[in-house]
Amino acid sequence: MKLSSNSLLTINELSKNEILQLIELGIKLKQNSKTDKHIDSMKNKTMVMIFQKPSTRTRISFELSMLQLGGNVVSLSHNDLQLALGESIEDTAKTLSIYSDIIVARVYEHKHLELLASNSNVPVINGLSNTFHPCQILADFMTIKEHKKNLQNIKIVWIGDCTNVCNSLIYGCSKLGINMSIATPKGYEPKSDVIKESQKYIEIEISENPLNVINNADVIMTDTFISIHNLNDQKERTQKFLPTYRVNNSLMKKANKDAIFLHCLPAKRGYEVTNSVLDGKQSVIWNEVENRLYMQKALLLSLFNL
């Protein structure tokens, strides 16, 4: 498959069919990981990664994907680049697209990613912005498909801060036709234009009370309420979210018996979720981590039609 979009900045650039095909390819790559016939697919291709923020999973899974597909990787933090001393994003994009075949960037402002993409001749992938985290959600859909066997007729519930991960989940659900329920305090709702656009395709229930949305949940998801770009608001956010929006065993018991729990990680253990849920039987967090690798591979192969 060749993706119709040259870049991946939000999930909205993908069609339903493309998302489903990426999930299938990710699952296939995982099943055949020992006999991978794509071993040289990215030979002579180079990926440049730029990180304005720290990363464990995104960086390692992208680097390993590229290396395991036979390609090369250069990873740089913001401070390694002239960007840190004021070189423009436009000139950086033009330079990187001369040297590389694909750019992955983790940034603060989503508009900087758009600027990078509009000035680049090679595909740009969003490795997380303050607003979206599409690669995470693609891997999460793969995880949900593995555990629930289908992506139809499932109830997905998001509890807590409506982060970049949540915004991408909403776009993904709107593409796949999955209704969503969200419990979050007033003022911390998902991006309003994401909600408005997605409500054309799915129903989105938003409540301040997790108990109003948890019934019949098949999938419960959350994220830290202190995202990297919110590190200065720790005190205010902790007061706002705790204890109501901490996912604990008593909340999990109100969901379906076979419900699964997802968290993109890193988790702030004991804050948005208890250790007993994170490490409990319903948690699939380590599958999510593993699936990041296969979904990055699926993405790379599909961007280049390999």
Q: Which residues bind ligand NVA (CB under 6 A)?
A: 128, 163-165, 223-224, 227-228, 264
The answer to whether the peptide bond before residue 243 is cis (omega within 30 degrees of 0) is yes
Token pair, residue 15, equals 């069609």
Site for ligand CP in 8-67 (CB under 6 A): 55-58
Residues 103-142, mask of contacts with ligand CP (x by CB under 6 A): -------------------------x-------x------
Q: Can you list the alpha helix ranges (DSSP code H) found in 75-228?
A: 89-99, 110-118, 134-148, 164-176, 192-198, 210-213
List beta partners, residue 259.
Answer: none
Residue 224 interacts, among ligand CP, ligand NVA, none and using kind-specific CB cut-offs from 5 to 8 Å, with: ligand NVA
Stretch that binds ligand CP, among 23-31, 63-71, 261-269, 298-306 (CB under 6 A): 261-269
- Nearer to ligand CP by C-beta: 110 or 155? 110
Shortest Å, Cβ 61 to ligand CP: 8
Q: Which amino acid is at 208?
A: E
Minimum distance from residue 23 beta carbon to ligand CP (Å)? 18
Smaller CB distance to ligand CP: residue 50 or 214?
A: 50
Would you call 152 exposed, middle or buried from its count of C-beta atoms within 10 A (0-12, 13-18, 19+)? exposed
CB of 218 to ligand CP, least distance (A): 22
How far apart are the C-alpha atoms of 6 and 108, rounded to whole Å?
22
Question: For residues 217 and 258, what is the distance between their CA atoms, to the nearest angstrom?
Answer: 9
Residue 56 interaction partner, one of ligand NVA, ligand CP, none, beta carbon < 5-8 Å per kind: ligand CP
Q: How far is the CB of 95 from ligand NVA (least distance, A)?
A: 27
| Number of residue whose CB is nearest ligand NVA | 227
Query: Are 212 and 242 contacting, i.e. CB atoms less than 8 angstroms apart?
Result: no
DSSP state for residue 178 in the 8-state scheme: -
Catalytic sites, residue numbers:
106, 133, 136, 223, 264, 292
Pair of tokens at residue 191 = 């991006």
> Distance between CA atoms of 102 and 96, rounded to whole angstroms?
9
Cβ neighbours around 111 below 10 Å, total: 13
264 binds ligand CP (CB under 6 A): yes
296 binds, among ligand CP, ligand NVA, none (CB under 5 to 8 A by kind): none
Residues of span 266-295 touching ligand CP by CB under 6 A: 266
Residue number, 58 or 119, with CB nearest to ligand NVA: 58
Q: How far is the CB of 77 from ligand NVA (least distance, A)?
A: 16
CA distance 195 to 28: 32
- Of 138 and 214, nearer to ligand CP (C-beta) is 138
The entry of ligand NVA, ligand CP, none that residue 163 binds, CB within 5 to 8 Å by partner kind: ligand NVA
User: To 10 degrees, the CA torsion angle through 12, 13, 14, 16?
Assistant: 40
Q: Name 204's bridge partners.
A: 180
Residues near ligand CP (CB under 6 A) are 55-58, 128, 136, 264-266
